[in-house]
Structure 1
Amino acid sequence: MLIDADGYTYCHEHLHIDLSTQKGDIDCRLDQYALIKAEMDALVERGVYNIIEVTNSFMGRNPQFIENLISDTGINILLSTGYYIEGFFPPELYSKSAKSISQEMTREIVVGIEGSSLKASVIGEIGSSQSTFTDIEKKVFEAAAMTHFETGRPISTHQSMSTMGRQQIELLNRFGVDMQSVTIGHCDLKDNLDDILWLLDQGCFVQFDTIGKNAYYPDSRRIAMLKALSERGRLNQVMLSMDITRRSHLQQNGGLGFCYLVDTFIPLLLENGISQTEIDTMMRHNPNQLFQ
């Protein structure tokens, strides 16, 4: 059992990430240990015991940072292996075969992540660009499928602005991946209920994982979509998270902070008719099923 089944799980987060070079913005270097530790302590107090940390190679992953957080806070953190999206790949990736990339991923799951005592538990976050799916991104998906078959570990994806989820599923289906081992990320950034229902019909999990990012898409609309899924009895494949990636997202820096999901968003769900049982399904049962 990789998940602490007694607690809630945030299904898609970053505790140490550095995209500042690519984005030209120091705010995109999330590395302030004392502030993040304090927020993890607060989550544990609220019953959030698991974080799926989807920062992978070349995104600024720091396993030593994670080791310290685990030791200092007691929170359970699952690390990831893979590559992100076009524009955030190391140059050497373009000349590697899918098999070679898969061997790297498998090594991080089976042997461990270099320089640490930790192993990766999730294949992710692997993604597609906005409204397109490049050849190199597809090669990473092929490598992820190979790694899934080798290790049995689940695949967590990134959709840029809630686009290309269908194409991701179609590609993974072509590789023969069991959809019950797949979760599609960032499904909550536009009005796309029909797409979400299609994804659910394929058997995969979907993530409402940018909660609190109201500049992209308001939480009121996220709640309306979750309510629509609730009315259809479809929340048994939905998971929740915040995808915190910037220093400015932390509470002490003026952001909403990691606790916003449990302190503010979940009460709003309850006020809008989503039951505590359904919340437990999204925050505990579904992650336990996928990431076990």
Structure 2
Amino acid sequence: MSFIRTLLKDIEPNELGYTYSHEHIVCRPLYWIEKNADDLLLDSPEKSKKDLIEFKNLGGNSIVDATAIDYGRDVDAVAKLAKETGLNIVGTAGFNKAFLWKSRLTSRLKKIVGDFETYEDWIEKSSIDNLVNHVVREVEVGLENTNYKAGQVKFGTGYNSITPLEIKTIRVVSRAHHKTKAPVHAHTEAGTMALQQINILKEEGVNLENVSFGHMDRNLDNYYYNKILETGAYLCFDGIGKIKYAPESHRIEEIIKLCKQGYKDKILISGDMARKSYYKNYSYGLGLSFIIKDWSERFIDEAENAGLDGQKLLNKFFIENPMKCFTFKK
């Protein structure tokens, strides 16, 4: 039996449709609140909803919301948006990366995870078994004591480094994956440390065909990509439109090269729009409509110039590959 778990219900894999594989919809990370970084607070469900509707009107069906517990997610608000828009939204259990964990836990979260002062305190002092039970519960019962279940489990590491507590969360998420069969997502800061993450996942007996690695277009390195893809994992190019990191031509060139190398079945595309300035209806950014409309038109042109069928590749990136990647394989 196989299925995809959305916040509202489990669906057949072929019901997922056109999918963005890594986004954030409503989140108020305590770390960024403490830093007064307003741009990093997606704090208006109504404004997020307008972007979601534009995405849907252009043919979008589903979004994977990669917001873990330590990134200020609002489970009820996002589930409400799923109901109001009719989009499939996949939620995320697990963790992000260590530098976020200095934030103090709210009283609400303390009731859920225990009377710890910070995320770091919680992760450090809790046993691996207790943390595994927490992640499993978020997949099988509901996120943060709601009835809305996670459809993937996540861990993260920092830039060119993995701390002992990050290693602990990789082991936790791996063991929760074994118990639930939930797909795994890896946060890689600036696209680094995926190979080191893979070593730990292998120690935990994880089949890499169930894992997607995020932020890969922050580290445009074909040799590195091939080493990851040789394991059977997915690469998520989720910085589309972020020219401050690399010209769009470099991203598309690398994606086309990977397709020619035989990896078209292992590529996911998204925008990771976790800032107000990225959203159209917060502050006139490119918005959730950019990839499905503008970027896709350009990609078709560039793919065809390279002798490939651009539309067939888009169907792979946005429909066929997410359908396989985000499926629970019981």
Question: Is residue 126 of structure 2 the alignment partner of residue 114 of structure 1?
Answer: no
Q: For the residues of structure 2 that align with 1:289 and 1:97, how far apart are their CA atoms?
A: 33
Partner of 2:299: 269
Secondary structure of 2:169's partner?
helix
Secondary structure of 1:188's partner?
helix
Partner of 2:171: 142
Q: Tell me, yes or no, if the aligned pair for 1:30 and 1:245 is still in contact at 8 Å.
A: yes
Deviation at 1:208?
A: 0.4
Q: For the residues of structure 2 that align with 1:178 and 1:190, how far apart are their CA atoms?
A: 24
Secondary structure of 1:84's partner?
coil
Deviation at 1:99?
A: 1.7
Moved over 6 A (4+): none
- Count matched residues: 291
Secondary structure of 1:88's partner?
helix
Alignment-mate amino acid for residue 67 of structure 2: T
Question: Is residue 238 of structure 2 the alignment partner of residue 209 of structure 1?
Answer: yes
The correspondence for 1:69, drawn from 81, 84, 98, is 81
RMSD: 1.3
Q: Tell me, yes or no, if the aligned pair for 2:22 and 2:64 is still in contact at 8 Å.
A: yes
- With structure 2 as the length reference, what TM-score do the two structures score? 0.85
Secondary structure of 2:69's partner?
coil
Q: Tell me, yes or no, if the aligned pair for 2:241 and 2:271 is still in contact at 8 Å.
A: yes
Partner of 2:265: 236
Partner of 1:44: 56
Q: For the residues of structure 2 that align with 1:156 and 1:88, how far apart are their CA atoms?
A: 17
Deviation at 1:116?
A: 2.7
Partner of 2:40: 28
Partner of 1:289: 324
CA deviations over 1:130-186 (Å, ceiling 9, x no partner): 001111001000000110000000110111111101111111011100111100111
The correspondence for 2:218, drawn from 177, 189, 199, is 189
> Percent identity over the alignment?
26
Q: For the residues of structure 1 that align with 2:78 and 2:169, how far apart are their CA atoms?
A: 25
Partner of 1:10: 20
Deviation at 1:23?
A: 4.2
Q: For the residues of structure 2 that align with 1:254 and 1:56, how far apart are their CA atoms?
A: 26
Partner of 2:115: none
Secondary structure of 1:207's partner?
strand
Alignment-mate amino acid for residue 174 of structure 2: A
Higher Rg of the two aligned structures: 2
Alignment-mate amino acid for residue 214 of structure 2: G
Q: Which moved more, 1:108-117 or 1:167-176?
A: 108-117
Deviation at 1:97?
A: 2.1
Alignment of 1:246-265 (within 5 A): 246-252=275-281, 253-265=283-295
Partner of 1:94: 124
Alignment-mate amino acid for residue 148 of structure 2: L
Question: Is residue 159 of structure 2 the alignment partner of residue 130 of structure 1?
Answer: yes
Q: For the residues of structure 2 that align with 1:172 and 1:233, how far apart are their CA atoms?
A: 24
Deviation at 1:234?
A: 1.1
Question: Is residue 63 of structure 2 the alignment partner of residue 56 of structure 1?
Answer: no
Q: For the residues of structure 2 that align with 1:164 and 1:73, how far apart are their CA atoms?
A: 37
Deviation at 1:22?
A: 5.0
